[in-house]
Structure 1
């Protein structure tokens, strides 16, 4: 399966190859500040599966996570959490049906507990090198 996604103005295009490793809700304080929300829905792809095919996004970091944003319209395209080898694609850019969340992560920074059936990991789950410690919600 292959999808092409783009920023809101179409200046930056990306090719996504295959299925995401995981779809998550990230509650880290970095995502909260950058996206202006309590958490960010994101699809995690291996870096090799998420390729820029057109345009030249601005790369920057607020804290530790490098991010890519369209120079023209400001759309937040993806983040690259240090040491994970993944690109975290902003879920609102994905075609319908691709985002299927599996868990919440970095819940130690959560604004409020989210009550749903998904696991809520305090930091990163084991799949991303974490401890699998869960929040006691």
Structure 2
């Protein structure tokens, strides 16, 4: 099992990642847009137990419904708690560049800056994540 460590931008929070992500993608949902002040965000989805805070104590922030953990010192968003699914969505911008390999885009129905690339663009989510596999055509 691969084990790696990542940290927030200031180093106050350190996280241990055990194993690889379930999926990696770009999220265009309006919640991510509001929280991150961005058109879309890179996400690495892991089983909850695979993301362990080993240094520092993150602060929980909830804008609408999703609890998100961030560094109380520098404000870096670390991961979201998807407790109903036993998952955590890591801010993939914390991964080394060569480790983020996006597979698709989700929640494209909310896109404010459509990205035209070779990846699949799901209107909501892929069927394997509870969606319908409906795509958007940009």
TM over 0.5: yes
Matches within 5 A, 1:33-48: 33-48=34-49
Q: TM-score, normalised by structure 1?
A: 0.94
What whole-Å deviation, never above 9, does each CA across 1:60-93 have from its counterpart, x for those lacking one?
2101111001111111111123523211111111
SS in 2 for 1:118: coil
SS in 2 for 1:32: helix
Matches within 5 A, 1:25-64: 25-64=26-65
Quote the Cα distance in structure 2 between the aligned partners of 1:73 and 1:3: 22
Matches within 5 A, 1:1-137: 1-81=2-82, 83-137=84-138
Quote the RMSD (CA, aligned, Å): 1.2
CA offset at residue 40 of structure 1?
0.2
Structure 1's unaligned 5+ residue stretches are none
Q: Which runs of 4+ in 1 moved over 4 A?
A: none
Quote the Cα distance in structure 2 between the aligned partners of 1:66 and 1:128: 19
Quote the Cα distance in structure 2 between the aligned partners of 1:76 and 1:118: 25
SS in 1 for 2:98: coil
Structure 2's unaligned 5+ residue stretches are none
Q: TM-score, normalised by structure 2?
A: 0.93
- Which structure has the highest helix share of the two? 2
- Give the length in aligned residue pairs: 137
